[in-house]
Structure 1
Amino acid sequence: MQLDELREYQRKLFENNNFTYKRYFHKTINLNKKLVGIVGARGVGKTTYLLQYLKELDLPFSKKLYISADIITIPSLFEVANSFSKEEGEVLIIDEIHKYKNFEIELKKIYDLLNLKVIFSGSSALSINNAKADLSRRARLYSVYGLSFREFVELEKGIELPAFALEDILTNHIDIAYKLLQKFNLTLLFREYIKSGYYPFYFEDKEDYLIRLNETINTVIEVDIPSIFPIDYSSVQNLKKLVRLLCESHPYTPNIKELLAKMDMKDNYKGLYRFIEYLSRAKIFTTLKPASKGDNIFVKPDKIYLNNTNLHYAYCSHNNTGTLREVFVASMLSQAHTIQAAKKGDLLVDEKYTLEVGGKNKKYKQIKDIPNSFIVADDIEVGSGNRVPIWLFGFLY
């Protein structure tokens, strides 16, 4: 593909990109470095963000270029970048870079030899610590997440709402909830978010959202994961089967032997652990592992969740209310906090806060003797004492 074709494609994208809302990461991503990477689950808005940035960048059209590695047919990313640089280009965006084989080598070459700022995006499963060309010392990598409940309400109602630090929510939740509830009606919006509000493309086609989400997850399993990890067709089918098995469970403390039997994997422990890791890296699963075991993938997780509540509605034939509650809290916390399974209670956050997640009648006795412990309660609008409304965790970002 020649530069003129790429620019025509970019011009059409600019014309069709009318999404004006600015996600939370517009304020947190620093694009001043020469090489910046943005990774996240498929559908969370990476491409939209990149097009917004490039469209608004105060540079002539000729000095900024967007290319998508999943649609261009070129022998070398470097050659495109080199041609663009020779025409005095300044900012190059490479979207979906995980689709390009040996992208690490190409990026290293661009970084070392050309005077270009490069911003790339890719799957959340992407790693830049590759032996082929370790980019970790050159690139600043940011992870981005789906819509928070706060962002969803802003988009749905056309209003601006503040985000709050976790400590503020835990200590000042009564006053925070009271002020927020003066601005919107909670119950219907929260139910809608739990079912359909995590991925921004909900606002493009609400009616067929869950169908599109199911297709998106299938694409992640069938295309994105195999483009990063060495797996074959039968493994792709096993990944789908593993997702369905998780749907059938409550907040899941995995029985590895039982899973191996259901997956027809005999004693292939390492294979199963790899599948769990692939789905976790791709943001289909959230896994809570013992802190003492570090990042070793061959360690049994304490719990496995689907990554967000919308995945339950897209992929599972039935849903457990208790599971959805825990999944929501974990998905909101994971953006900026470390989460582990608590010895007492449900979640241990930042090795400091113990959370017990449940309905409005959840009792405090299980965690009453634990410092910094809180009930996270569904079906209440305003809490009291250490009983915090669950919906407020949607205002962490």
Structure 2
Amino acid sequence: MFESGINRVAYLEKIPTFLARKQIEVLIGSRRTGKTTLLKQFIQTLLQQSVSGKDIFYLALDHPALSGHPISEHVRNIRKLFMHDRSRKLYLFLDEVQESPNWEAELKALYDLELLKIFCSGSTSALIARQAGKLTGRQIVTTVFPLSFQEFVRFRGEPPSLSEDYKYEQMADDYLTLGGYPEQVLNPSQEYMTNLLEDILARDLARIHPIKKAHILKDLLRLVGASTGSRTSFNKLSKILGLSVDTIKEYLIYLEMAFLVKPLEKWTTSWSERVYSQKKLYLWDNGIKTLLTGYGDEESRAENAVFLELQRKNIACGYYAESDREVDFVIGSLAKPLPVEVKYLDSFDWKDKRFNGIRLFLNRFPNVENVLLITRRVEFKNAITDKTTLHAIPLWKFLWSAQNYPGMREETDHTQ
């Protein structure tokens, strides 16, 4: 056996499903979110299930000695080394697969012709976009997120009793500041986060995309961090940075592909309104926000954390807005919407003007059954109309077990 780090149970629980299907398992996500560690944990699980070590092969394709050779050549060398029959099933783990030449066609051929179960990882969603359909139907994509709050707590030691809510409140505050990059959680360091961001911008963006003014990417990211969760004006960003609107949009797409920024569209049945309305922009990790904009702004961080949890659970949502009033997130259909509002409060007053957006939404959609209000420590469940129940939930409880609340149903993975 070998050291494979702290188990990420949410992903390890999927191994039986992974092994039961033929498709290539593709892990994508930001650099240093733990994809390599996960591949090693998958290998550890196979070994514990009595799969022979001679049938399992891990290749770090960003290593100079390996990156220049086609994947099929590596597979042939593996079979030759152990004199494996072609009919013997092997398990192939390919880390940073995009570094291998012609990897898309190589994987297609291996999938079609060899008896292999293939797992691979990559640090940019360009890994999927540039395939031009070569692996359609042959791959299933799993996004590896920064640590969830549950994982964050477990990475920091034995979880306290759930009755010790004050400890969880403090850990939630720490989570909003540190974020979920595993190494940052284990050994907090501003230098580490600085190097991580530089690495992402240089290796996952400037090296791959035709960016003429790469230094502006960090300025753009800082502006996004300063207005996390706010409706974004591309024209305003264009004027501040002295770039065209089209360039701003293009750079934001690059930041999204590197798992730094994630846009949220307006919740509406009108396709054109969804496309042309302003987007809200969120960061993939609050630790990046701390690095870019410093400490404070807890409510914005809390909203960012809730958004990431919805993404982690693969729950579709949008924001609702009329003029200056809005609801942070709306889940579900027009017939049965679930509004979710994040207010990092220690006390509650329904008449507070900060709830104008929710009150407007209930006027527009009087059949709403439930409203989720994510707070700092306020907790209750009360009827606010004849048909509507307001669930006030402390942030840590929502992040710990979001699936326990109305409308929080995880959607299934899909084959690409």
On the 8 A contact 1:41/1:282 being kept in 2, the answer is yes
CA offset digits 1:139-193 (Å, max 9, x no partner): 1211221211122223323249xxxxxxxxxxxxxxxxxx833587223211111
Decide which moves more: 351-360 or 127-136.
127-136
Return the offset for 1:94.
0.4
C-alpha distance in structure 1 between counterparts of 2:305 and 2:91, whole Å: 37
Q: Call closer, same or farther: CA 1:156–1:334 in 2, change over 3 Å.
A: same
Q: Is it true that 1:388 corresponds to 2:368 in the alignment? A: no
State the match for 2:76 in structure 1.
Answer: 82
Q: 2-side partners of 1:38 and 1:62: how far apart?
A: 23
- 1:120 — aligned with what? 120
Match of 2:341 among 352, 356, 359: 356
Query: Residue 236 of structure 2 corresponds to which residue in structure 1?
Result: 258
Q: Quote the sequence identity (%).
A: 20
Residue number in structure 1 paired with 2:36: 47
Q: Is the 8 A contact 1:41 1:123 kept in 2?
A: yes
Q: After TM superposition, give the deviation of residue 196 of structure 1 in Å.
A: 1.7
User: What is the deviation of 1:315?
Assistant: 2.1
* Counterpart mapping for 1:260-275 below 5 A: 260-265=238-243, 268-275=244-251
The aligned counterpart of 1:220 is 200
Match of 1:309 among 276, 286, 290: 286
1:354 Cα deviation after fit: 0.6
Shift of 1:360: 3.0
Counterpart in the other structure of 1:165: none
Please say if 1:279 is aligned against 2:255: yes
Greater shift after overlay, 348-357 or 197-206? 197-206
> 1:19 — aligned with what?
5
Is the 1:342–1:348 Cα contact (8 Å) retained in structure 2? Answer: yes
- SS in structure 2 opposite 1:342? strand
- Check the 8 A contact 1:150/1:394 in 2, yes or no: yes
Partner letter of residue 117 of structure 2? Answer: K
The separation in 1 between residues aligned to 2:7 and 2:165, in whole angstroms, is 19
Which deviates more, 247-256 or 274-283? 247-256
CA distance in 2, matches of 1:308, 1:204: 16
Give the letter aligned to residue 396 of structure 2: W
AA at the equivalent of 1:253: R
AA matched with 2:346: K
Give the 3-state SS of the residue equivalent to 1:38 in structure 2: strand
1:251 CA displacement: 2.9
Deviation at 1:281? 2.7
Q: CA deviation at 1:211?
A: 2.4
Q: Pick closer, same or farther for the CA change 1:20–1:61 going to 2, 3 Å.
A: same
Task: Single out whichever of 27-36 and 103-112 deviates more from structure 2.
Answer: 27-36
Would you say how many aligned residue pairs link Structure 1 and Structure 2? 359
1:362–1:375 contact (8 Å) kept in structure 2: no
One-letter amino acid of the structure 2 residue matched with residue 393 of structure 1? F
Structure 1 position 330 matched with structure 2 position 307: yes
Q: Deviations over 1:229-251 (max 9, x none)?
A: 5323x342222121012233353
Q: What TM-score, normalized to structure 2?
A: 0.77
User: For 1:1-33, what per-residue CA distance to the aligned partner results, in whole angstroms no more than 9, with x for missing partners?
Assistant: xxxxxxxxxxxxx64x24242331111353223
Partner of 2:110: 110
Equivalent residue, structure 1, for 2:135: 135
1:284, distance to aligned residue in structure 2 (A)? 1.0
Q: In angstroms, what is the RMSD of aligned CA positions?
A: 2.9
Kindly indicate whether residue 44 of structure 2 is the aligned counterpart of residue 59 of structure 1: no
Counterparts of 2:166 and 2:278, CA distance in 1: 38
- Amino acid paired to 1:51: K
Counterpart-to-counterpart distance in 1, 2:289 and 2:282: 10
Unaligned runs of 5+ in 1: 1-13, 161-178
| Residue 93 of structure 1: aligned partner | 93
Gaps of 5+ in 2: 383-389, 404-416
Q: Tell me which residue corresponds to 2:157.
A: 157
User: Conserved in 2, the CA contact under 8 Å of 1:46 and 1:121?
Assistant: yes
What is residue 28 of structure 1 aligned with on the other side? 14
* Inter-partner Cα distance in structure 2 for 1:300 and 1:279: 20
Q: 1:124 to 1:180 in 2, by over 3 A?
A: farther
Write the deviation string for residues 309-357 of structure 1: whole angstroms up to 9, x where unpaired: 2221122235422211211111111112112112342211234211221
Quote the residue 2:413 is aligned against.
none
Question: Are residues 342 and 74 of structure 1, via their aligned partners in 2, closer, same or farther at CA, if it must alter by over 3 Å?
Answer: same
Q: Structure 1, residues 42-64: CA drift from partner, whole Å, max 9, x if none?
A: 22221111101113313222221
Q: Distance in 1 between matches of 2:165 and 2:8?
A: 20
